[in-house]
Structure 1
Amino acid sequence: MNIRVIILLFCLIVLVDGKKIHRFRLQRRSHRHHKIPHPHLHLQFRNALRRKYGYTPLRTVNAVNVTSEPGKGAVLVEPLINSYDTNFFGVVSLGDQPFTMQFDTGSSDFWVPSSHCRFCIKQCGNKFFRESKSKSFRSSGTPFSITYGSGSVKGMVASDNVSFGDLKIQNQGIGLVNISDSCSVFDGIAGFAFQQLSMTKSVPPFQQMIDQQLVEQPIFSFHLKSGSSDGGSMILGGSNSSLYYGPLTYTNVTEAKYWTFKMDFIKVHGKGSRHCKSGCKAIMDTGTSLNVGPVLEVLHLCNDIGAVYNDTYKLYTVDCASIPQLPILVFGIAGKEFYVKPQTYVIMYANLCFVGLMDLLGLDHWIIGDVFMRENYVEFDWARRRMGIAPAV
């Protein structure tokens, strides 16, 4: 099956519950990949997550040195990292230049490639920022380095105007990337976590929207779609009750750095016992495709699902023909149960079907990624430091 890349490049202004909000259309790259993944994909993805969340990476594999610029150092390249082709993106303008951006609640910075990132341009085919074409561009000369679930980047801090559709942020702090160690289907990242996490020491984009009074409410929301003709939407300035069923269930943010909360439990419906049954720390991260957890908990959950460990890929797999008969995953949050169907949590690569649960050695909490959010609408309330969750339409 060919990879389907759905690109919707516009932002809609709509009235919801009598209030003006901004519905920003997302694009989705299908996870139904037509190629068999590289055997080292699991290690690259795990290492990227380990770096993102402050753990020491495991051994590096299949790496080559690529010179970014003659005489100006090298980057370590680990190919084939695209987070299983299940990320969601949108187009944002920086200095009136459009870029395809990943919206990441697991980071706080805004960055794009600069004209000096030869690897980004020649190897990855990313768009790059042309400083000379923006009258509002300002450079600080301060260096930065950031690690994400898809790799790491280095460059210089600057500022410019950033537009999310018709929402124009003045003097947004940005990172211009000179060195990157991996390719992605997006050009850059727009972080939606709190400022404490910022590696460029910049005010995050959504905090800027609030400070500059660009949004009606200090709230943004994600409605991610599975198996549809578009990727869903990110809503800036509120929520849209037509995109979810019933009332939102709220859970407080326990640490205003990541969107951290207490998860009551996770289990397989009708089988086995609850895991994280006394409650555990979890992070809601739109920049991570899978649900990632402690080794033993992932092992027991996958056993309850009926998945088997694939030693080549170091991931759990199921028979693709069995997907309709597999059990539902249940997440307990704030006293309510939220569900993820097997058609959503199984990632298909040609004739290989991986369970969207990954273990991470040393991890003592859960990272709740797009596998969960493709079934559940999530509202992020910046001012009240809480999240509202409901089954998505």
Structure 2
Amino acid sequence: MPRFQIKSLVFLAGLIVLVGEANSTLRRIPIQKSPNFKRSHKNIVAERDFVQQKYNRQYTANGYPMEHLSNYDNFQYYGNISIGTPGQDFLVQFDTGSSNLWVPGSSCISTACQDHQVFYKNKSSTYVANGTAFSITYGTGSVSGYLSVDCVGFAGLTIQSQTFGEVTTEQGTNFVDAYFDGILGMGFPSLAVDGVTPTFQNMMQQGLVQSPVFSFFLRDNGSVTFYGGELILGGSDPSLYSGSLTYVNVVQAAYWKFQTDYIKVGSTSISTFAQAIADTGTSLIIAPQAQYDQISQLFNANSEGLFECSSTSYPDLIININGVDFKIPAKYYIIEEEDFCSLAIQSINQDFWIMGDVFLGRIYTEFDVGNQRLGFAPVNSAVGLRKAVLWRIFTLLLACGMWKLKN
């Protein structure tokens, strides 16, 4: 499906959600996955390299963080926002592992900008120039430009005077085939480049949300549908999870880092009292090297997590948080490709765990900014399937409508 049709689907789905939730105190943004999403050993290794650079930041001479970006099609969630007056629509990746918002600017002539939405500052009556230069260098490319100020809208809310990065140059091929236009970071302010106030913190300061909380309901529905779940602003929706939320305090208000009680594979203990980060911008689970080595030995996997599949059943991965076990069935952390299997658990040079989609796709997660804590509960799978079916019906109807318009 062409990218412009996908953007139309996301935008119209957002309108439908907003209409349905107009009388609710919770604001929702439908989240989509790339239509090319596919977990494979090759993609797992590619993303492992991306995560390594993301969390082992180096710095350029001007002090801007370096990150590695690769293979975005395979592991990112994105949704619709608008910038300016009248609003100019963009698809952005919602990333709890970073804190800045940036989109391409109209003066960008890079190849990656030509197939994406760009921001036209001269078309916005609320645009305010800032002009501070910014540059983020990635492992195989970079983005650079300047800071701008304008209103930002999503989920029916409008944030006034939001500072964001307006990209004028995108070097490398990282974003050429990406289905989103930019990134909206949802980490804490201490992570933000240039000391910019993140969008959600501005929402809180401007009284736009009832509670200083947002939550993610993420679903992995394969390649059949683009439905990836919901980002909910202002609280949590109990209908989307089972039981009650288990809370744990954030141990460092930068990344969303928390402490686990223990982590096991089946009955085998892997770690105790280890720290972990909840990161919606990562699809894998990343373990410290020693713990990864122990897990790989259980499956006789090589250094990249590849091993020969067995006919025997594999055990659950169990993460205990504040006394509660959260179980990840093997089919989510082991990827079968013909006769070989791959672990969707990898390792980089870090001493903490990173819980990406392999974990978050099974566990509803509340990000409580005000109390600096996280809440976890198993997702309500029945709700996810029902919403996915509705999304399929909606896309079919929209496709028929587009066909009629063209004919």
Taking structure 2 as the reference length, what is the TM-score of the superposition?
0.78
Q: Structure 1 residue 186: deviation in Å?
A: 1.7
Separation of aligned partners in 1, 2:362 and 2:68: 31
Q: Secondary structure at the match of 2:359?
A: helix
Structure 2 letter corresponding to 1:111? W
Which residue pairs with 1:104 in the alignment?
95
Structure 1 letter corresponding to 2:242? Y
Alpha carbons of 1:296 and 1:264: their partners in 2 closer, same or farther (altered >3 Å)?
same
Q: Structure 1 residue 113: deviation in Å?
A: 1.2
- The answer to whether the Cα contact below 8 Å between 2:82 and 2:88 also exists between their aligned partners in 1 is yes
Alpha carbons of 1:121 and 1:244: their partners in 2 closer, same or farther (altered >3 Å)?
same
- The answer to whether the Cα contact below 8 Å between 1:251 and 1:388 also exists between their aligned partners in 2 is yes
Which residue pairs with 1:72 in the alignment?
none
Which residue pairs with 1:196 in the alignment?
190
Separation of aligned partners in 1, 2:300 and 2:78: 30
Counting only pairs closer than 5 Å after superposition, residues 311-326 of structure 1 correspond to structure 2 as 315-318=304-307, 325-326=313-314
1:166 to 148, 156, 164: 156
1:276 to 259, 267, 271: 271
Alpha carbons of 1:351 and 1:28: their partners in 2 closer, same or farther (altered >3 Å)?
farther
Alpha carbons of 1:185 and 1:302: their partners in 2 closer, same or farther (altered >3 Å)?
farther
Question: Are 1:376 and 2:363 counterparts?
Answer: yes
Q: May I ask how many residue pairs the two structures share in their alignment? A: 357
1:258 to 236, 255, 259: 255
Describe the superposition over 1:217-257 as per-residue Cα deviations: whole angstroms up to 9, x where unpaired: 11100000122741110100110000011110000011111
- The answer to whether the Cα contact below 8 Å between 2:214 and 2:367 also exists between their aligned partners in 1 is yes
Q: Structure 1 residue 34: deviation in Å?
A: 9.4
Which residue pairs with 1:208 in the alignment?
202
Alpha carbons of 1:308 and 1:82: their partners in 2 closer, same or farther (altered >3 Å)?
same
Counting only pairs closer than 5 Å after superposition, residues 274-353 of structure 1 correspond to structure 2 as 274-277=269-272, 279-304=273-298, 306=299, 308-309=301-302, 315-318=304-307, 325-347=313-335, 353=341
Counting only pairs closer than 5 Å after superposition, residues 110-189 of structure 1 correspond to structure 2 as 110-121=101-112, 125-146=115-136, 152-180=142-170, 181=172, 182-183=174-175, 184-189=178-183
CA RMSD after TM alignment: 3.3
Taking structure 1 as the reference length, what is the TM-score of the superposition?
0.81
Alpha carbons of 1:189 and 1:342: their partners in 2 closer, same or farther (altered >3 Å)?
same
Moved more, 21-30 or 175-184: 175-184
Where structure 2 has 5 or more consecutive residues not aligned to the other structure, the ranges are: 1-5, 60-65, 381-407
Q: Secondary structure at the match of 1:115?
A: coil
- The answer to whether the Cα contact below 8 Å between 2:148 and 2:166 also exists between their aligned partners in 1 is yes
Which residue pairs with 1:89 in the alignment?
78
Q: Structure 1 residue 114: deviation in Å?
A: 1.7
Which residue pairs with 1:8 in the alignment?
10
Describe the superposition over 1:323-356 as per-residue Cα deviations: whole angstroms up to 9, x where unpaired: x932211111111111112232234678865321
Structure 2 letter corresponding to 1:284? A
Which residue pairs with 1:62 in the alignment?
none
Alpha carbons of 1:262 and 1:77: their partners in 2 closer, same or farther (altered >3 Å)?
closer
Q: Secondary structure at the match of 1:8?
A: helix
Q: Structure 1 residue 293: deviation in Å?
A: 1.9
Moved more, 200-209 or 97-106: 200-209
Separation of aligned partners in 1, 2:117 and 2:289: 38
Alpha carbons of 1:84 and 1:280: their partners in 2 closer, same or farther (altered >3 Å)?
farther
User: Which has the larger helix fraction?
Assistant: 2
Separation of aligned partners in 1, 2:169 and 2:192: 18
Question: Are 1:25 and 2:30 counterparts?
Answer: yes
Counting only pairs closer than 5 Å after superposition, residues 63-78 of structure 1 correspond to structure 2 as none
Separation of aligned partners in 2, 1:335 and 1:212: 36
Separation of aligned partners in 1, 2:330 and 2:354: 19
Structure 2 letter corresponding to 1:299? D
Describe the superposition over 1:237-278 as per-residue Cα deviations: whole angstroms up to 9, x where unpaired: 1100000111100000111111111122222113x3x2222x
Alpha carbons of 1:22 and 1:149: their partners in 2 closer, same or farther (altered >3 Å)?
farther
Which residue pairs with 2:342 in the alignment?
354
Alpha carbons of 1:189 and 1:77: their partners in 2 closer, same or farther (altered >3 Å)?
closer
Q: Secondary structure at the match of 1:118?
A: coil
Q: Structure 1 residue 383: deviation in Å?
A: 0.5
Separation of aligned partners in 2, 1:336 and 1:34: 28
User: Which has the larger strand fraction?
Assistant: 1
Separation of aligned partners in 1, 2:76 and 2:252: 25
- The answer to whether the Cα contact below 8 Å between 2:32 and 2:78 also exists between their aligned partners in 1 is yes
- The answer to whether the Cα contact below 8 Å between 2:39 and 2:335 also exists between their aligned partners in 1 is no
1:244 to 225, 241, 245: 241
Separation of aligned partners in 1, 2:201 and 2:338: 42
